[in-house]
Chain A
Amino acid sequence: MAINENALRKMLSKGYKYRDLTVREITNVTTQYKDLRPVMDNYVFNDGSTKELLSLTGTVPVTYRGNIYNIPICLWLLDSYPYNPPICFVKPTSTMMIKTGKHIDANGKIYLPYLHEWKHPQSDLFGLIQVMIVVFGEEPPVFSRPTTQTQYPAFQT
């Protein structure tokens, strides 16, 4: 789905300091990964404060043991983006559970050297997603719950 660049500029008008860079990256990455889209929502920080931030929300295709899975993720962009890394989460649906590990905590927060060593302009969303796809292909961050019931997960739009 093509992202309307004007709509995106408008979304980012609230406080994003490097809007042009951010618009360009999001346009680029959503062209490559069509199941991700920009959404404005309230992000809750560790101290309880909230701020309206842009997130890239949706799924990325991950190949694991020969099958492709659409892993649900949410990447929050701070208003200092791209000079700070996005805050990244895996977003399990009701039929999934988080598999904690080296790269994933119990809240679904994603930890990667790529994020830790983030430096604009060498680091960007496209590179990050490529790294995620490789890492998740080795260690999936979510698994399906062991149940025979089939239900479509509630997926937030």
Chain B
Amino acid sequence: LNGGAVPSAPPTYT
């Protein structure tokens, strides 16, 4: 019962 997308986030601004 897993699946689900891998969480991701935008890269930090530099």
Contact = CB atoms under 8 A, between A and B. Distances in A.
Q: Would you call the interface of chain B mostly helix, strand, loop, or mixed?
A: loop
Interface in B1-14: 1-14
Interface of B: 1-14
A70 B2 contact: no
Interface residues of A, number: 30
Interface of A: 1, 34-35, 37, 58-59, 61, 64-65, 67, 69-72, 91-93, 95-97, 140, 142-146, 152-153, 155, 157
Nearest to B13: A143
Given A140-B10, A143-B11, A145-B12, A157 B2 contact: yes
A69 B9 contact: yes
Contacts of B10: 64-65, 67, 69, 140, 143-144
Contacts of A71: 7-9
- 3 smallest CB-CB distances across A and B, nearest first, come from A72-B7, A70-B5, A142-B9
A52 B10 CA distance: 33
Contacts of B1: 1, 37, 157
Nearest to A90: B9
B7 A153 contact: yes
